[in-house]
Structure 1
Amino acid sequence: ERSSHLIVLYWLDRAERGLLYAKPPGETRERGVFSTRSPARPNPIGFGIVDLVRREGGVLTVRGLDALDGTPVLDIKPYSPEIDCIPEATGGWHIKK
């Protein structure tokens, strides 16, 4: 509860698993699914960094998780700005130059 943010790994249990291409929102062309953040992928593990709003007993209330109610959670880790932040990181095809 001393962390302001958490990393949540979750299973996108309702996503299609057989697609290798996806059309991102606002795009006209398909991209390889591994270059997108589409939930439709061969291994549908979701990754999210969320705000920890509060903890009440064994229940965490978070903000910013891009998942449907009832989505199975695989793991929760504390977000560490010293370890998890990569200031010099660059983006992929979707980053406008």
Structure 2
Amino acid sequence: MTRVNEEPMFAPREGEVRLRVDPAGLPGDSHVVFIGHVRSPWTSREDCPKNMGAARATGKAAAVQIDEAYRPGLEGLGRASHVVVLSWLEHAPRDLIVQKPRHAAGASGVFALRSPARPNPIGLHVARLVSIDIASGVLELDAIDALDGTPVIDLKPYLPSVDALTDATHLKAGL
């Protein structure tokens, strides 16, 4: 079986650095539970939008399907206009610690990038909550930048009074 990060599409670019040990092969520090999965029109990395702005620009809606055991946790979420979806980007390599994005002039550390390739490939997606059906566990979203079937590890309401920081600044390069 070929590991994801050994495929040609993940061959290191100039300036990239890999960890000595792939975190995917290490014993876990805790146990992450998948609570559902993404339902999106994206079935390949090549077609998947690179960020939520690009996903919204396609005009294609998406959904999150929550497993039955976790549906009671959806109570009250419908009061929020937006939801933060945390996903497990299972196809991403986990051993790239310095990366050179295609659009960047130089390499940057993984923690200065929004790349899915990271030691713990957790995706963060802030989406408009179009509708929620607690009984079926379906959250309809305006868009999402994740592949169909991507595992969901958590949901949180987006709280503008806490999450929108008016004094935040953009990184100058790398995003």
Q: TM-score range by the shorter chain?
A: 0.7 to 0.9
- Structural mapping, 1:41-60, within 5 Å: 41-56=118-133, 57=135, 58-60=137-139
Does the 8 Å CA contact 1:49/1:64 hold for their aligned counterparts?
A: no
TM-superposition CA deviations, 1:25-46 (whole Å, max 9, x none): 4213221111111100111111
Instruction: Give the RMSD, CA atoms, in angstroms.
Output: 1.6
Does the 8 Å CA contact 1:18/1:41 hold for their aligned counterparts?
A: yes
Q: Which moved more, 1:23-32 or 1:46-55?
A: 23-32
Paired with 1:12 and 1:41, the residues of 2 have a C-alpha distance of 10
1:93 aligned residue: 172
Which consecutive residues of structure 2, in runs of 5 or more, have no partner in the other structure? 1-77
Paired with 2:102 and 2:159, the residues of 1 have a C-alpha distance of 30
The count of corresponding residues between Structure 1 and Structure 2 is 95
2:153 aligned residue: 74
Displaced runs of 4 or more, over 2 A: none
What SS does the aligned partner of 2:111 have?
helix
2:67 aligned residue: none
Structure exhibiting the larger radius of gyration computed from Cα positions = 2
Q: Is 1:37 aligned to residue 124 of structure 2?
A: no
What SS does the aligned partner of 1:20 have?
strand
Compare the two structures and name the one with the higher strand fraction. Answer: 1
Which consecutive residues of structure 1, in runs of 5 or more, have no partner in the other structure? none
Paired with 2:102 and 2:148, the residues of 1 have a C-alpha distance of 22
Compare the two structures and name the one with the higher helix fraction. Answer: 2
